[in-house]
């Protein structure tokens, strides 16, 4: 009653009026109906007048004319029903929007409030906001992890479903990263905070959610395309009915059945249900406008690094100088030794390529050796001394003290290490293909190359075909890489157009050219250099799985998952929300026009017309809520649905 006094009060007074009419007190019943029209209609009329004074055309104009006409002609019952219908429609809209935002609100409400830390061998609780970088936080089973960091002690399954939409838990061991907002399922974890609580991934997600909720959905944006024409047609219908019948009651009946609640309700409920559905699939959409525009995009533009590729170099091959003379078994043995030695030195570096080499060694379960006499020229290479403990037959050829150097050509020349022509040629060839090749030298002799490259996402081949099935007519790749690398990724992803060696400002230029041609452009990127292009597109979508940066701030939507096929899910949800919103608009207008025809011939009285319009409202609301069905995306990009 406190939240929705006008519709509930109107309904109660209508019931009292009905019982008075049954008791023969028609005079009291009439006064009660007049009370509803006056006290309920005046605020609605005043609100509409203020909107129109601000230059905002209001579709409520028809309802206001109907309320005014009911007062003038003494049709208080019809007027009371219109007040109930209009105020009830607005209350149903608020309820539906609150229901649609349930997932977004739940995300913010479950933000971690406290954390456990050790203090003098005693576990104490502190506010989550008090966590700073370097703190060691204890997370108990079943608790939400309050900060981003690396596991120092403990092993457990961790659910990241609320962050990324991935349903399966991830088994975490010491050294692995965990994200705030994920749930520790099994056992106690000790996590070293890498960020403060306010800078954590979950805090940034909550901030994005709050932005999404603060930006009001374009409630009349879509409806406005039809509301002016519908209003003019309604008033003409009413005037013609009055002119031919010579009775203003016919005009009032037309206005009553044309009261445009369906037109008002169809868009916001469908769009906010779309925002809710997107949130359940790891897609934060910042506004209703973004969902609506996702439903209209026909060009999809992608960045390469970190978007169509993983964005992190990985070791893909080991090349040995004398590999032609080695047997398969010897070659494998030497590759593992070379990787273990290189990783043993690289583990002391923080460079991204060093991390890739260490990760490759750990994936092969190679035991790393502590290195001494470490030196690094950042961005060029590293050198260190490693003492190998190798027994048996291998001792003579592999054991002992080894000076290991890993780096580029200038680093090797700085160390006065001669580079074999065969390895130099191979490195040049690999570089042309977009790969990175680091030389490896043992005791001053270059013996091989470690080849690294930015690996394409495994599901990439299904991206463009899946988008085409959703109605995207053209896909574009914009990248700063060379033509060879760009074409390789473009072919793998089945991209229609590839633009290589593209600077950030050139990306913006390409997107604006499409916009000038009246194309609706979706831009997907992940880096700071993508921010201008994301802001220039019709809809900008950022991959925020690796951290919500400038790209996420400039984008209209953020993917919380590493799965690029979630872009297809986002487009599908936008298409669905827009399609169902339009269905509601056409359904509401169509049924209203049919009812207007009957009312113009006197077949529908004003009071009956008001009840009939209430039924149309219910149909439109139920239709709009159909947006809230689950959407599952398979590995091949196909969409499947089931009702929740």
Annotated catalytic residues are 303
Among candidate residues 456, 420, 115, 273, the one with its CA nearest the CA of residue 464 = 456
Sign of CA dihedral 493, 498, 504, 507: negative
Q: Are 227 and 264 spatial neighbours (Cβ–Cβ below 8 Å)?
A: no
H helices then E strands: how many in the chain? 23, 24
The residue behind tokens 């539906």 is: 96
Ramachandran quadrant class, 318 (left: phi over 0; alpha: psi -120 to 50; beta: rest): beta
Q: Are 318 and 336 spatial neighbours (Cβ–Cβ below 8 Å)?
A: no
Is residue 555 helix, strand or coil?
Answer: coil
| CA–CA gap between residue 123 and residue 129 (Å, rounded) | 17
| CA–CA gap between residue 290 and residue 271 (Å, rounded) | 9
Q: Are 355 and 343 spatial neighbours (Cβ–Cβ below 8 Å)?
A: no
List all residues 6 or more positions away from 400 whose beta carbon is below 8 Å from its beta carbon.
387, 388
Q: Are 57 and 104 spatial neighbours (Cβ–Cβ below 8 Å)?
A: no
Phi, psi of 81 (to 5 degrees): -65, -35
Structural tokens at position 477? 């790749």
Among candidate residues 181, 180, 173, 205, the one with its CA nearest the CA of residue 194 = 180
Structural tokens at position 549? 């940066």
Q: Are 536 and 522 spatial neighbours (Cβ–Cβ below 8 Å)?
A: no
């Amino acid at each position: 009653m406190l939240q929705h006094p006008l519709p509930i009060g109107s309904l109660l007074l209508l019931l009292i009026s009905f019982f008075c009419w049954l008791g023969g007190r028609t005079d009291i019943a009439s006064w009660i109906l007049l009370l509803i029209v006056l006290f309920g209609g005046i605020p609605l009329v005043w609100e509409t007048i203020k909107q129109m004074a601000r230059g905002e055309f209001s579709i409520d104009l028809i309802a206001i004319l109907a309320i005014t006409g009911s007062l003038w002609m003494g049709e208080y019952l019809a007027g009371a029903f219109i007040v109930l219908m209009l105020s009830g429609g607005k209350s149903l809209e608020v309820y539906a929007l609150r229901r649609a935002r349930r997932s977004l609100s739940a995300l913010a409400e479950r933000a971690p409030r406290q954390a456990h830390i050790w203090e003098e061998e005693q576990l104490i609780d502190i506010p989550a906001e008090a966590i700073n970088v370097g703190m060691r936080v204890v997370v108990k089973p079943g608790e939400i992890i309050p900060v981003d960091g690396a596991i120092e002690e403990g092993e457990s399954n961790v659910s990241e479903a609320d962050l990324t939409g991935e349903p399966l838990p991830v088994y975490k061991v010491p050294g692995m990263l965990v994200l705030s907002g994920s749930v520790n399922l099994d056992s106690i974890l000790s996590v070293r905070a890498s960020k403060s609580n306010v800078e954590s991934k979950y805090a940034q997600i909550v901030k994005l959610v709050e932005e999404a909720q603060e930006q009001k959905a374009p409630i009349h944006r879509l409806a406005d395309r039809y509301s002016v024409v519908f209003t003019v047609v309604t008033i003409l219908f009413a005037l013609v009915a009055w002119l031919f019948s010579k009775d203003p009651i016919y005009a009032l009946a037309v206005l009553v059945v044309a009261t445009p609640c369906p037109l008002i309700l169809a868009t916001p409920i469908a769009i906010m249900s779309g925002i809710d559905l997107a949130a359940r699939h790891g897609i934060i959409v910042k506004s209703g406008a973004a969902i609506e525009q996702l439903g209209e995009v026909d060009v999809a533009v992608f960045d390469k690094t970190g978007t169509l590729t993983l964005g992190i170099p990985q070791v893909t091959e080991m090349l040995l100088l004398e590999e032609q003379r080695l047997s398969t078994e010897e070659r494998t043995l030497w590759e593992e030794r070379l990787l273990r030695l290189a990783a043993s030195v690289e583990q002391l570096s923080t460079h991204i390529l060093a991390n890739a080499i260490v990760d490759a060694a750990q994936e092969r379960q190679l035991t790393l050796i502590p290195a001494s006499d470490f030196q690094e020229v950042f961005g060029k290479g590293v050198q260190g001394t490693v003492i190998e403990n190798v027994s048996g037959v291998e001792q003579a050829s592999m054991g002992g003290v080894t000076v290991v150097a890993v780096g580029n050509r200038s680093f090797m020349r700085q160390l006065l290490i001669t580079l074999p022509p065969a390895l130099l040629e191979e490195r040049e060839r690999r570089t042309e293909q977009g790969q990175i090749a680091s030389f490896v030298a043992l005791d001053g002799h270059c013996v091989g190359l470690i080849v690294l490259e930015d690996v394409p996402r495994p599901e990439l081949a299904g991206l463009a075909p899946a988008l085409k099935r959703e109605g995207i007519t053209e896909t574009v790749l914009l990248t700063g890489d060379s033509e060879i690398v760009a074409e390789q990724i473009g072919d793998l992803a089945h991209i229609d157009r590839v633009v290589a060696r593209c600077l950030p400002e050139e990306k913006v230029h390409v997107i604006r050219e499409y916009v000038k041609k009246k194309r609706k452009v979706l831009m997907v990127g992940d880096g700071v250099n993508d921010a201008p292009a994301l802001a220039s597109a019709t809809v900008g979508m950022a991959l925020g799985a690796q951290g919500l940066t400038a790209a996420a701030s400039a984008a209209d939507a953020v993917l919380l998952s590493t799965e690029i096929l979630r872009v297809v899910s986002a487009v599908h949800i936008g298409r669905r929300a827009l399609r169902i919103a339009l269905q509601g608009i056409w359904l509401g207008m169509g049924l209203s026009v049919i009812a207007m025809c009957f009312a113009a011939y006197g077949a529908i009285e004003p009071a009956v017309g008001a009840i009939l319009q209430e039924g149309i409202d219910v149909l439109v609301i139920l239709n709009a809520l159909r947006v809230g069905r689950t959407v599952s995306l398979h590995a091949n990009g196909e969409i499947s649905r089931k009702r929740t």
